[in-house]
Amino acid sequence: MMTAIAIFHVLISIALILVVLLQTGRGSDIGAAFGSGASQTLFGSSGTSAFMTKVTTAVVVLFMVTSLVLAYMYSHREYSVKAPVAPVQQQVPEQVPVKK
């Protein structure tokens, strides 16, 4: 279960990086990519800013939830990665009779 959540967490982090990189700056508009006014008709009157904000919020929430779940699961697991160490038995040396 932890492995599946960890893989999902990695995929969400990659998606978060891509979503942030796809966002445009404050002064620029995506209209240049679609033509002069095509972003207005494709994504509505507000352009892509509202859509990308919602996508970013959803991805960030998923990232935080998986982070908290993984932290909780790893801190409360009952098994160890290390192999258990066998107890060492000390042998008492036999006493040699002393000749007088």
- pLDDT at site 26: 61
Note the pLDDT tens digit of each residue in 65-76: 999 999 999 888
Backbone dihedral angles phi then psi of residue 28, each to the nearest 5 degrees: -100, 165
- pLDDT at site 42: 57
Question: Is 92 strand, coil or helix?
Answer: coil
First to last CA, the chain: 72
CB-based contacts of 5, cutoff 8 Å, min separation 6: 66, 69, 70, 73
Which string of DSSP letters, residue by residue, matches 4-29? HHHHHHHHHHHHHHHHHHHPPPSS--
Q: Map out the domains of the chain as residue ranges.
A: 2-17+38-75
pLDDT band at 22 (very low <50, low <70, confident <90, very high): confident
Q: Is the pLDDT of residue 57 over 90?
A: yes
- This model's pTM is above 0.85: no
Question: Whole-number mean pLDDT of the chain?
Answer: 78
